[in-house]
Structure 1
Amino acid sequence: MADKSRTPMRKKERKEKESTEMSKDVKDVKNEGEQAVDNGEVPSAEAAAANGAVGDDQNGEFQVEALELPPFEIIEGDRIDPFAFKFQFKNVEYSSGRNKTFLCYLVDKGSADDGLLKGYLEDEHTGSHAEEAFFLQCLKDYDPALKYTVTWYVSSSPCSDCAAKIAEVLRVRKNIKLSLFAARLFEWEETDIQDGLKAMHAAGCKLRVMKPLDFSYTWETFVENEEQPLNLWEDCTENYEYYQEKLADILQ
């Protein structure tokens, strides 16, 4: 990545950079996939349909209403395919081709009987996004009497619509404490995106960019890694520092 003192590229310049970045990443993933086939490894994922919508009633209570969605818009599971993780979570600035969100979650309900909920969601950006689907599917049995400590590791920070919904959930459900760690910042130059991040922060969400150690932790906890360590890409630390600096500027 170039020096952090540079002027950020706008969309026209970014597209030229993206095409080169995407070709390199796709080639890397393809080569890894071919090698895995030679070793007899077959990546897999379980698909599930999502339904539901979010709204508030007149008393200010957070409600979940039935909403029929086409199948295979939200994928839910325990472990991510390793090649998908390496491509989708790579913290590049020019992220062409990474047109979906992977959300890894940990939920502690504060009760030893319930244990720790763990898994991931993947969206296709054709219906509900992963962030909204989490509240509809993973917290569908939400209990206002419990205290929820929720941790997300996401491939990119939320879009403006999802950020607004997250902020509203946290304002209404005071017993949910959310920490969100993002591999990349999604369109961070845009004013509506910045406003969404600020709204989440003001609602009590802890926001941070993923550090190199976070990528290794996510690999070990949420990826079908076959007990192999994650080899971090060359500019992982530099990209983390770049994004974290941008996030700090937005939230100050």
Structure 2
Amino acid sequence: MESRRPGPRAGPGQACPGHHGRNPQHSVPRNWIRRLYQKTFYFHFQNLPRAFGRHNTFLCYQVEGSRGSSPDKGIFMNQMRPRAPKYHAELSFLSWFENCLPLPAQQPYQVTWYLSWSPCSRCAEWVAAFLDTHRNVSLTIYTARLYYHWHPEYRAGLFRLVSAGAQVAAMSFSEFEKCWEEFVYNDGTPFRPWRMLYRNYCVQAHNLQDILSGAVGLLKEETFCFQFNNQRQVPKTHRRRRPYLCYQLATPTGSLLHRGYLCNQVSVGRAQEDRHVEVCLIDKIQSMGLDPAQSYQLTCYLSWSPCPRCARELLDFASSHRNLGLRIFASRLYFHWRRNFQQGLYLLCKAHVPVTVMGLPEFQHCWKTFVDQAKPFPAWPKLPERSASIKNRLQRILKSWSLSDS
């Protein structure tokens, strides 16, 4: 455990007004420390792509808003408990924050973390749940290294944090220098960067961007309302409604791994055909390198149902990825009067890849999840009636093909 220098403590001692009468153990947690020794900082915060022997996590924090212009500062580390799991630094901070600081709902707080390791999946879920219930708290996380960034559960944890409103970034030279000045017994000496600090930062930032790429890139309100509109005709008839696909990849427990939207990739040369959104999605999922021993759930929301060729592509993809559950929602049926298009829908459903027509709940979910919106979903006229009509048409198609197949 990190040793402490003698002398008066700083930080939480003055930041706990109003906690009298609470459990005394919440005043200053046992794993709270004021500053790090230089060797400890250089060893645990070095941003190596492969960091061996670093089995602890250090969390340097700064809280602004509790006492005006005087921020609270300190450090937490993982707490080793005999015959019990570790009590991670992130959970120690939340316990201290909730029990030692007054949290009036109208008072904003800006919290900044500097972590030697990014949060594990369990801590990420706890922190995200905390942010969901404390809207007056803004959290910015700088991490020196990514913890098991190739593991789906840990990737989902970081994605969950960003979805809850946290800002997550890799530590660059300026963040390391900030930590050196504020959280290290530096004896007045400047921060000396280690070899390949910037190169390692680029690696960490690239990996983090790959994890969080689904948390950005939202559809515009106008684009969604036009492209996913299930009416036969829309007011702007001079524009063509193109195929769009919104998708989300999750674990069976509901942990979100990735989400985003795609549209057809238009080819430049005349000899080349456009790449449909379904093919783009297959390429996207295959590039993620999912664990074949892990189960996943992929949900797609399409503005147009798949064409026959894309239906076959989806069937081949589903049959070669038995660990991936695929479900398709469609706003409209594409060339539903043609037999080959009908056959594609039937074969998908027969292969246990359900194709369902989007109703009001699905439109509202897409609006909230994939659209850069600032207002509730503006349902267009007769949306439920149109969904019911398209759903009946799909049922008739599937029934006719099941009869002909028998």
* TM-score greater than 0.5 by the shorter chain: yes
- 1:85 corresponds in structure 2 to 41
The question of 1:201 aligning with 2:153 is answered no
Query: How far apart, CA to CA, are the structure 2 residues paired with 1:198 and 1:217?
Result: 26
SS of corresponding position for 2:42: helix
2:65 partner amino acid: K
RMSD: 2.7
2:47 partner amino acid: N
1:159 to 1:132, Cα distance in 2 relative to 1, 3 A: same
CA offsets 1:80-130 (integer angstroms, 9 cap, x no match):
111111100000122221111110111012652x72111111114543111
Query: How far apart, CA to CA, are the structure 2 residues paired with 1:110 and 1:45?
Result: 25
Query: Which of the numbers 128, 146, 160 marks the counterpart of 2:87?
Result: 128
Which structure ranks higher in relative contact order (CA pairs < 8 Å, sequence separation ≥ 6)?
A: 1
- Aligned pairs for 1:141-156 (under 5 A) are 141-143=101-103, 144-156=105-117
- 2:135 corresponds in structure 1 to 174
Query: How far apart, CA to CA, are the structure 2 residues paired with 1:138 and 1:46?
Result: 23
Q: Point out the more displaced range, 120-129 or 203-212.
A: 120-129
- Matched residue pairs, number? 191
**Matched-pair contact (CA < 8 Å) for 1:100–1:125:** no
**Matched-pair contact (CA < 8 Å) for 2:47–2:144:** yes
1:199 partner amino acid: R
Query: Which of the numbers 72, 88, 108 marks the counterpart of 1:117?
Result: 72
1:117 partner amino acid: D
SS of corresponding position for 1:228: coil
- 2:96 corresponds in structure 1 to 137
- Aligned pairs for 1:53-92 (under 5 A) are 74-92=30-48
Per-residue deviation at 1:44?
A: 4.2
The question of 1:94 aligning with 2:53 is answered no
Query: How far apart, CA to CA, are the structure 1 residues paired with 2:102 and 2:200?
Result: 36
TM-score normalised to structure 2 length: 0.44
Per-residue deviation at 1:145?
A: 3.3
**Matched-pair contact (CA < 8 Å) for 1:74–1:130:** no
**Matched-pair contact (CA < 8 Å) for 2:66–2:102:** no
Per-residue deviation at 1:132?
A: 0.7
1:157 partner amino acid: S
SS of corresponding position for 1:151: strand
SS of corresponding position for 1:153: strand
SS of corresponding position for 2:180: helix
1:124 to 1:92, Cα distance in 2 relative to 1, 3 A: farther
Query: How far apart, CA to CA, are the structure 1 residues paired with 2:67 and 2:108?
Result: 9
Query: How far apart, CA to CA, are the structure 2 residues paired with 1:232 and 1:135?
Result: 31
SS of corresponding position for 1:100: coil
Question: Between Structure 1 and Structure 2, whose CA radius of gyration is higher?
Answer: 2
The question of 1:250 aligning with 2:211 is answered yes
Structure 1 residue runs without a partner (length 5+): 1-42, 48-64
- 2:221 corresponds in structure 1 to none
SS of corresponding position for 1:215: helix
1:248 partner amino acid: Q
Per-residue deviation at 1:217?
A: 1.2
**Matched-pair contact (CA < 8 Å) for 2:49–2:203:** no
**Matched-pair contact (CA < 8 Å) for 1:79–1:120:** yes
**Matched-pair contact (CA < 8 Å) for 1:74–1:123:** no
Q: Percent identity?
A: 31
Structure 2 residue runs without a partner (length 5+): 7-21, 214-406
**Matched-pair contact (CA < 8 Å) for 1:120–1:222:** yes
1:89 to 1:74, Cα distance in 2 relative to 1, 3 A: farther
1:203 to 1:103, Cα distance in 2 relative to 1, 3 A: same
Query: How far apart, CA to CA, are the structure 1 residues paired with 2:145 and 2:89?
Result: 16
CA offsets 1:150-209 (integer angstroms, 9 cap, x no match):
000010100110001010000011111000000000010000000000000000000000
Query: How far apart, CA to CA, are the structure 1 residues paired with 2:138 and 2:129?
Result: 13
- Aligned pairs for 1:182-197 (under 5 A) are 182-197=143-158
